[in-house]
Amino acid sequence: MRILLVEDDRQLAEGLTRALARSGYAVDCIADGAQADAVLRTEHFDLVALDLNLPGLDGLAILRRLRARELATPVLVITARGGVAARVEGLDLGADDYLGKPFELAELEARVRALLRRSQGRATGTIDCGSLTLDSKARQASLNGQPLELPRRELCLLEILMTRAGKVVSKEQIAGQLFSFDDEAGPNAIEIYVSRLRKKLAPAGICIRTIRGLGYLLQR
């Protein structure tokens, strides 16, 4: 899953980027509001974590423009503006959740997971596909009840495919969720990750089909 973090406090931004990356997310961080607005016009993100006090363009203006384009991307507002009026304004403009500074990292991560679940129409943090289970909170996959050890990228790829099980997912969709701007991904990177993951799932009868010219399909 790919997250855009819009935060101009460099120290906070670096800490949150590292923490979210450790949780398996591809994270892009932008400090300028106008730049963030421009990126949101051309790139897809699964969630936006948005500060309000930003140079260039404030967070509420970014939110207003995002919703004016009828994009339903989940938005978590993170701000030091703690007043009720500010929260109400943000929620009325289309924010999905609101987190006041200072906050605990565990709460941020929980709110991110909750918003992503909601956007995918899931009630819990567990995804099941036959004998395959993925716990998004623990960042752990299991096969027939046994832990399936996967590197971070393979686990992220599995989550992308499991949330769309039975549907074809294009390479472009996978790349958009798997890699951030700073990731160095070769032209065959997705094929390599799919191949590795396919071999680990095959013994349980779970297949990742290649649909030529379209993408990949997870079947059980």
Q: Domain of 142: which CATH number? A: 1.10.10.10
How does pLDDT run across 42-79, given as a tens digit for each residue? 999 999 999 999 999 999 999 999 999 999 999 999 98
What is the tally of structural domains in the chain? 2
Find all residues with CB under 8 Å of 116, minimum gap 6, and list them.
1, 46, 47, 74, 136
- For residues 135 and 160, state if they share a domain: yes
Q: Which of 89, 119, 149 is the last residue of a domain?
A: 119
How does pLDDT run across 98-152, given as a tens digit for each residue? 998 889 999 999 999 999 988 887 877 888 888 899 998 888 999 888 899 999 8
Given pLDDT bands bounded at 50, 70 and 90, which one contains residue 219?
Answer: confident
Q: Which of 93, 119, 145 is the last residue of a domain?
A: 119
Q: How many residues does the chain have?
A: 220
Provide the domain limits for residue 32.
2-119
Q: How far apart, in Å, are the Cα atoms of 6 and each of 9, 32, 48, 70, 78?
A: 9, 7, 8, 20, 9
- For residues 6 and 115, state if they share a domain: yes
Q: What is the dihedral of CA 213, 191, 18, 55, to 10 degrees?
A: -30
